[in-house]
A and B are shown apart, each in its own frame.
Chain A
Amino acid sequence: MLHRPESSGSGYRVPLSALFIGFLKVSLCGFGGGLVWARRVVVEQRQWMDEQEFAETLTLCQLMPGPNIVGITVCVGAKLRGAIGAVSAVAGFILPPWTIGLAIGSVVLQYAEIAVLRNVLGGLSASAAGLLIGTGLRLLAPHRSRRTALLFAGLAFAGMAFTRLPLTMVLLALAPISIAVAGIESARAR
């Protein structure tokens, strides 16, 4: 391989257009499972990060608010080209699919009253809701053995599903207690 694009002092600068196109690809391929494609493009194809660094970046993104996959986009762009790199990567990730999606989607939604389309949309949203619930349950599986984790997951669920409380209030009430409990547990484990 002629060059291996790295940010660290090799003098080679990844072009901004490569960031734009790389993340456009992640975005367009990422039906449902964007993370799979982000790793494929960033680690395997472009070698912008190695496995270890990618995993660490993902952890950082999971710790932060916002869509995790957008976070990876920002971090890779920032690593390679600083702020302007982050903007290019995010623009590639969001702009083209957003424009197309908004155009097609608003046409579809205009005809949402047509019986057939209405039925299709009904079926789609019922199954999409199921996928979201399923994703949550899958994420919960590794925490099965921690009773306090199940308790806090249940409280967060109930707080949003059965009350009309705003998310800020639910999070501000539960997060400090949940973090404190996790702290006590890890202190005991030591």
Chain B
Amino acid sequence: MNNSSASLVLAVHLAVLSSISFGGFPTVLPDVHNFAVAKGWVTDEEFANFFAVSQVMPGPNMILMMSFVGLKVGGIPGAVASALATFGPACAMYYLSYRLWDRFRDMPWQRIVRRGLAPLTIGLVIAGGYVMARSAAVGWQSVAITAAAVALMLGTRLHPLWILTAGGVLGGLGLL
């Protein structure tokens, strides 16, 4: 498969995921991970690196992360295609639904759908974190860093950037 058709396959896959990414793009991380690794486009480690770099950048992290996958697969055009596929379909749906919102307001079924989808979304977010932790795990030390980040996130009001920085510094000191 050449680069441009691989980019296209990736973009179509991302566009489908974008249309079903209830709860945001972190919920589709495991799917993208399995898909891209199975195709041999990226390794586990590269995927984890993309995640790491995109998380420390300001702005829309997941769009950036998918662009790194696209960049690897098909250069700059691949990166652009991935970015468009990641936010395009979702944006179109947001726009249309905003226009219809008044009609749906206060409908009881809307509350029920929300109640039904919420737990699934949450499970998927946690699965996204779990799969990324598995990719990042090179030993008990990295598992410990992940566990510590979870604990700090739950137990303190520390800004997430401090937790990320601490993880990066511990890694840089060669403790992993």
> Is the beta-carbon distance between B164 and A156 smaller than 8 angstroms?
no
CA distance A78 to B161 in the complex (A): 32
Contact of A183 among B68, B112, B146 (CB under 8 A): B112
Chain B residues near A105: list those with CB within 8 A.
53-54, 57, 64, 68
Q: Is A47 an interface residue (CB 8 A)?
A: no
Number of interface residues of A (CB under 8 A): 98
**In the complex, how many residue pairs between chain A and chain B have their CB atoms under 8 Å apart?**
379
* Best-buried of B21, B28, B90 by chain A (most CB within 10 Å): B90
CA distance A32 to B149 in the complex (A): 14
Contact of A131 among B58, B90, B164 (CB under 8 A): B164
> Is the beta-carbon distance between A74 and B91 smaller than 8 angstroms?
yes
Chain A residues near B83: list those with CB within 8 A.
94, 98
> Is the beta-carbon distance between B167 and A124 smaller than 8 angstroms?
yes
> Is the beta-carbon distance between B79 and A102 smaller than 8 angstroms?
yes
Contact of A127 among B58, B68, B113, B149 (CB under 8 A): B149
Chain B residues near A74: list those with CB within 8 A.
91, 94-95, 98
Contact of A64 among B68, B94, B137, B169 (CB under 8 A): B94
> Is the beta-carbon distance between A106 and B30 smaller than 8 angstroms?
no
> Is the beta-carbon distance between A67 and B24 smaller than 8 angstroms?
yes
Contact with B along A151-180 (1 / 0, CB 8 A): 111111111110010111011001100111
CA distance A129 to B146 in the complex (A): 6
CA distance A166 to B71 in the complex (A): 23
- What are some 11 contacts across the A-B interface (CB < 8 A)? A31-B161, A67-B60, A121-B171, A126-B146, A130-B148, A133-B146, A133-B149, A137-B153, A153-B119, A175-B116, A179-B113
Q: Knowing that A32-B159, A101-B64, A130-B150 are A-B contacts, what are 7 other residue pairs whose CB atoms are under 8 Å apart, sorted by A's residue number?
A: A64-B90, A98-B60, A129-B129, A129-B146, A155-B123, A160-B30, A161-B126
Top 4 A-B residue pairs of the complex, sorted by shortest distance between their CB atoms: A123-B171, A66-B90, A130-B149, A127-B167
